[in-house]
Amino acid sequence: MEIFVQQLINGITLGSIYGLIAIGYTMVFGIIGMVNFSHGDVFMVSAFFALIFFLVLTQWLGVSSVIVALIIVMVISMILTGLLSWAIERIAYRPLRGSFRLAPLISAIGMSIVLSNFIQVAQGPRNKPTPPMVRDVYTLWDANGYAVTLSLKQIIIIAVTIILLAAFWYLVQKTPLGRAQRACEQDRKMAGLLGINVDRTISLTFVMGAALAAVAGTLFLMYYGVVHFADGFAPGIMAFTAAVLGGIGSLPGAVLGGLLIGLIETLWGQYVSADYKNVAAFSILVVVLIFMPQGILGRPEVEKV
């Protein structure tokens, strides 16, 4: 029982990171119907932004408070990653928006390779560690010689995910930008005829998704204490799987899918085999999509005729 509870905590923590990345996938797909396969590498670049600025603040500028440094790093990473995603949308995606459907997909894969190789050349192929940021660990209970623990960094990750999900749900449902996004999701041409700046709305959607990926990148760095140029692939694929599982186009569905994928990974790795945890996650995705093609919280797609 103690091991199960510990893996439950670990799975929720990992799933929270997946969920933040998955929101970027689901927002972009919901508006323009394109899978932004470079989003995982945008997340990886944001983790390097966080690493660089955390080291600058703590070792060069002498900021002693880790919490203050983390907040500053997160804000800077969100701004820089948002600008990067805005540039990617303008350069690699917008010119291809009216072309055949495979063109943006190929461009997204190419941009993913560009980002990954650029970081490999700029930062080197080795793991980049950072000094421990948050060390506090709380013991929930100790039974049968096994202590169930909850670390402060796990609490931070879960709390940040809940706060950001609530904030972005409010933004999408209750603000003019959110109404513009939902209008573009339903019919971009009609939204443009009604006075909505479709290009600006899509660009802001890319920026918002990248900002959430930057938060996930900072939390990922804080949690694991190391980042590598290839770290955009596996989390990106798992986050995309989470978005599809939860119902692509649904913000709560993206986070729910992330939590489920995180729990499947940790529990399967503990009780069955860590070598096949990804196989288990994708197998459950296939089963869910057979019986619920729209995902758990997704809406059935209505064809316009």
Tens-level pLDDT at each residue, the chain (305 residues)? 788 899 999 999 999 999 999 998 998 888 887 888 899 999 999 999 999 999 999 988 888 888 899 999 999 999 999 999 999 999 988 888 878 778 888 999 999 999 999 999 999 999 999 888 888 899 888 877 778 899 999 999 999 999 998 998 899 889 999 999 989 988 888 999 889 999 999 999 999 999 999 999 999 999 999 999 999 988 998 999 999 999 888 888 999 999 999 999 999 888 888 888 888 888 888 888 888 888 888 776 655 54
* 216 falls within a domain: yes
* 88 falls within a domain: yes
* 296 falls within a domain: no
Q: Smallest Cα–Cα separation from 146: which of 3, 271, 269?
A: 3
* 300 falls within a domain: no
pTM over cut 0.85 = yes
* 197 falls within a domain: yes
Longest Cα pair distance anywhere in the chain, in angstroms? 67
Q: Count up the domains in the chain and report the number.
A: 1
* 297 falls within a domain: no
* 302 falls within a domain: no
Residue 41's domain is classified under what CATH number? 1.10.3470
3-class secondary structure per residue, the chain? CHHHHHHHHHHHHHHHHHHHHHHHHHHHHHHHCCCCCCHHHHHHHHHHHHHHHHHHHHHHCCCCCHHHHHHHHHHHHHHHHHHHHHHHHHHHHHHHCCCCCHHHHHHHHHHHHHHHHHHHHHHCCCCEECCCCCCCEEEEEEECCEEEEEEHHHHHHHHHHHHHHHHHHHHHHHCHHHHHHHHHHHCHHHHHHCCCCHHHHHHHHHHHHHHHHHHHHHHHHHHHCEECCCCCHHHHHHHHHHHHHHCCCCHHHHHHHHHHHHHHHHHHHHHCCHHHHHHHHHHHHHHHHHHCCCCCCCCCCCCCC
Q: Smallest Cα–Cα separation from 14: which of 275, 264, 253?
A: 264
Containing structural domain, residue 210: 2-291
* 304 falls within a domain: no
